[in-house]
Amino acid sequence: TRGKGGRGPGEHLYQSYHQVSQQFPLLVSLLLLASAASLALIILFFSRGMVFGESVAFVVVAIVGLVVFAGSLGLACSERMFSRGMKALSLLTWAALVTLGYVFIFESPVVSAWDQVYFFLFISFSVYTMLPLGVRDAVILSSLSSLSHLVALSVYLSRYRPTQALLPHQLLANAVLYVCVSALGIYQKLQMERALRKTFKDTMNCLESRMKLESEKRQQDHLLLSVLPVYIALEMKAEIMDRLRVPRAGGPHPDTPNNFHNLYIKHHRHVSILYADIVGFTRLASECSPKELVLMLNELFGKFDQIAKENECMRIKILGDCYHCVSGLPVSLPTHATSCVWMGLDMCRVVRKLRGATGVDINMRVGVHSGNVLCGVLGLRKWQYDVWSHDVTLANRMEARGVPGRVHITDATLSHLGGGFEVEGLGSLLDPHLKENSVNTYLVIDPRPPEQPGEGEGVSVPADGEGGSAVPTSARVTRYLESWGAAKPFAHLSPHITLPINTPSMDRMRGKDVPMGNVGSQRNLDRGRSQRRLEEAVHDKISEVIEGLNSHSHWFKSEHLNPLTLYFSTKAMEKQYRSTPVPAFKFYIAAACLTFTCNFIVQLLVSHKNMALGVTYAVTFFIFLLILFTCFVGDFSRCTEKGPPPLHWVSGLSGAVSNRGPLRVAVATLVMAVVLGMALLNLFFLPFPSGRDPCVDRNLPSLPMNETGPVGEEEILIAVPYYMSCCLLALVSCSLFFQVNFELKMVALVLALVVYNVIFLYTHAHLSDAYTCLLYPNSTLPGSHRPNVLKDPKVMGSFSFFIFFFTLLVLVRQNEFCCRLDFLWKWKFREERDQIETMENLNRVLLENVLPSHVAAQFVGQDRRNEDLYHQSYDCVCILFASIPDFKEFYSESDVNREGLECLRLLNEIIADFDELLSKPKYSGVEKIKTIGSTYMAASGLTVAPCPEGQQDTERCCSHIGVMVEFAVALMGKLDSINKHSFNEFQLRIGINHGPVVAGVIGAHKPQYDIWGNSVNVASRMDTTGVLGRIQVTEETARVLRRLGYTCHNRGVITVKGKGELRTYFVATDIPRPSAPGTSPS
């Protein structure tokens, strides 16, 4: 099964794994903790000598909570009930906790602004980290609990206790605490899900890659054995594998430093790609003059540009009579699929109007597909905005296999339409590639009523003109299109001369995805069957692995992990794990800094301001700034490199911290110590003597002064519960260091728990006791109201410390297990990775050695468009096509190469080096036209004045052909240099032809310069039928080159698609050209 949104067949398996391996243990742990906490509250209540009648609501709610949590725990332990009622259990748990919190607040007549803040902090944090909810649901529930607590206390206290000390400050401090814990909870949740998905994805990718390679190995063996005898095939295969292993045995090659050109390419997800072709336009173009044809194209594509603007689509390029646009670029658009479909429907309607008004037999064929693209520009000259991906190729195929007058869409596009259109299903029978990839296709039904004859834009043009004479078809179409009044392209060419050429042709991109089935129908059927069998086998294998991982006691069943410490069973593996770089370490520091800052704000709001508060935080803020600078300075390496040389080492600090385990542990220890210590350090500087007891003597001397007079006791003691809340945030910050040693976090949590309890229950218990006396002044008298369990600050603080400690203990252990499991999978497949790399290289070498060149050329693509577009005529233009056929096999989309980005980076280097040649004065007459995939197109003679009559003048005007040959040889030299530095074996295949062409610019919004004509098509065929490392030319071009002093070898008569049989020649590239043009070679 294939997941929605292109997530792949393993998405539902991941959800199952996520539920059982993470959501289940965390929810069970939360319910266990809540049950234990409810029971502990009941025991504490009666152990303090309180009776049931003193707080009926408290006891009843605690007992009911215990029953609810225990019952929910029983339901959750049933896997069937858990999977079906996961969200209901989550909502029930959240509602029970919130109810407990409000009862604990209002069961006593004494209500303070800090009342149950710790409890609602726990609710917010557990919603993010312990309940099986999505981020959006968790944010909603956390916000509801926090905001309701703030609102309830604000309304109640402003009405019943408006004179409470520092009430606005306390409420603001509560808000800061809630915001901080929500931010930390979201960060924790995203990190946990990211780690778990990464673990699952690594597992699935490795298994899928292994099984695919096994299938490919069988296919390659079958291919090899069908060509060679068994013993020769086995010997050749063994020799190739030995040759591939030699470099690895000798160790890696040293990296050669290279200064890469800038790469302006980005990855965009969730876009829709449209290809539209005018059916019958080639026949119409043959009847038009150059002027009429260019005008026709400009008016028609100008109208398409207008439609694209109305439907929020961006035109990418024009390929002859093919229009290509994308919706969702450069800004994401939720309705990208709907916009593209409306774009296609409007284009079909416009062409129908044209056909109805002029009687010309043309139609519009539209294909739409939704997916992901890489978009940007390549090279240094003639920058052209373009898109690349397998989804782009599929959209192109949808147009080629579409129906004239209809919009042809894939199931991926249909899934984004939301039922807004009616469709007719076509299945995947129209194309073997679609069937092989299980792509179902549909035809969209236009929801608008059909137009009546004569309705719409433009004026109908009769077939008969004045006097009954017949009006040519081209004239009728041109006259009709002129009534649309499209803008002229030349108005947009100045002063931004680079804009008109930002849309390269990619008419060869279709050839990149021609399936291997084109070689033979039987091979196509076998490939389709094997692909289906492979998907089923991968699904079954992954299910087995997930079933093994989805054990409820997975912490205690791994043979590679110690069940108690989670250490790896081998020291080498443990050492390697601890030395693994942690690029996200700087974000752990940033999250801890957020906690530190929020604690500072809270203490600034409610604690007594004195010199100690300012000095301690000034020093620790400076320490934090130094640590943050150390961790993030690597992101600004470009800035530091521009500075003086003595500062260049600074940018390496970030890498040292994230890559070196001991240094990382030292920094993490320092940060934890600072955050944990500063959470309560200033508690020791509160100006409240230890012997002062307001319950005994009401006439004690005044405390220190502030701006408004003597400081009240409550104003000082109100900070005590907030210091406890700061300590809770500090405890949470220790769990944020995901890939830091588990024992370090455990030691930090245990030490903090002990120290905090000792301080608040023993050494500084007098502060809590004094504050309790202020809140309950008559609590020692018989019959008076005494503070409940959670109304006593020190009891409340200690209880909350233990609750958070056990919660964080579960989370820290779960996170540690996920990180170690991810490392374990990578380690298990590390040895296999070498095997995978050898097999990939073996498959490539086998294809190159077994398949003939003319068979391999079919995978490059022979289906070229005939682009007969005209603007200005030239008599003698030399056209060059230089292609790199091997780049098709090099390009792939995977996590390893960042979805194809690194492949395009190398292509960018190649094209950029080619472009640099154009800056030499020698090649000033050579004009780059465009890049078509991995093909470089250039022309010379576009700036030469028209040649007068006469043979000598003709030779002088065609001398630029020799310059083009020199340019071709220079391209080969550039590619050889790139091969040496990139360890590749690319070769150029070059085709050159000369003759008359038509150059033109079309498109009002994005004018595009191009050249067209039969000479261009023949030059393209010279490339596609050529040989790697050779320059192939036609007989006419060879005749001119011989007169210019070049040596040409007769290749013979070859069959050229669309041209019949032609005699071609190879230009000798190893003989220097004579200095004087026109002389004969000796």
Are residues 862 and 1057 in contact, defined by beta-carbon separation less than 8 angstroms? yes
Residue owning tokens 């192939």 = 1032
Catalytic residue among 243, 529, 1057, 1063: 1057
The H-or-E segment that residue 774 falls in is helix 765-775
Tell me 9's DSSP state.
Answer: T
Helices 167-227 & 521-549 angle (0-180, nearest 10): 140
The Cα–Cα gap between 277 and 319 comes to 9
The Cα–Cα gap between 427 and 609 comes to 74
CA neighbor of 391 nearest in space, from 544, 271, 285: 271
Residue 568 pairs with which residues in a beta bridge? 561
- Per-residue tokens: 336: 């990208």
- Per-residue tokens: 493: 């060419």
CA neighbor of 823 nearest in space, from 597, 566, 642, 1066: 566
Residues 109, 110, 113: CA angle, nearest 5 degrees: 130
Residue owning tokens 């519960």 = 721
Chain-centroid distance, C-alpha 82: 32
Amino acid at position 149, single letter: H
The Cα–Cα gap between 425 and 410 comes to 10
Cis upstream peptide for 330 (omega within 30°): yes
Contacts of 120 (CB under 8 A, 6+ apart): 101, 145, 146, 149, 178
- Does residue 1021 carry a catalytic annotation? yes
Residue 940 pairs with which residues in a beta bridge? 878, 926
Q: What is the DSSP string of 43-103?
A: HHHHHTT--GGG-HHHHHHHHHHHHHHHHHHHHHTSHHHHHHSHHHHHHHHHHHHHHHHHH
φ and ψ at residue 852, rounded to 5 degrees: -65, 160
Alpha-carbon torsion (891, 892, 898, 901), positive or negative: positive
Relative to beta strand 935-940, strand 872-883 is: antiparallel
Contacts of 834 (CB under 8 A, 6+ apart): 248
First-to-last alpha carbon distance for the chain, in angstroms, is 70
Burial class (CB in 10 A: 0-12, 13-18, 19+), 1052: exposed
Tell me 363's DSSP state.
Answer: E
The Cα–Cα gap between 68 and 63 comes to 9
Contacts of 455 (CB under 8 A, 6+ apart): none
Q: What is the DSSP string of 901-924?
A: HHHHHHHHHHHHHHHHHTTSGGGT
The Cα–Cα gap between 1037 and 881 comes to 14
Alpha-carbon torsion (377, 379, 380, 382), positive or negative: negative
CB-CB neighbours of 1077 under 10 Å? 15
Relative to beta strand 1048-1056, strand 1008-1012 is: unpaired
Are residues 214 and 189 in contact, defined by beta-carbon separation less than 8 angstroms? no
Residue 761, classed as helix, strand or coil, is: helix
Residue 676, classed as helix, strand or coil, is: helix
Residue 583, classed as helix, strand or coil, is: coil
Catalytic residue among 1021, 1030, 1043, 1051: 1021
- Does residue 309 carry a catalytic annotation? no
Are residues 129 and 103 in contact, defined by beta-carbon separation less than 8 angstroms? no
Active site residues: 1021, 1057
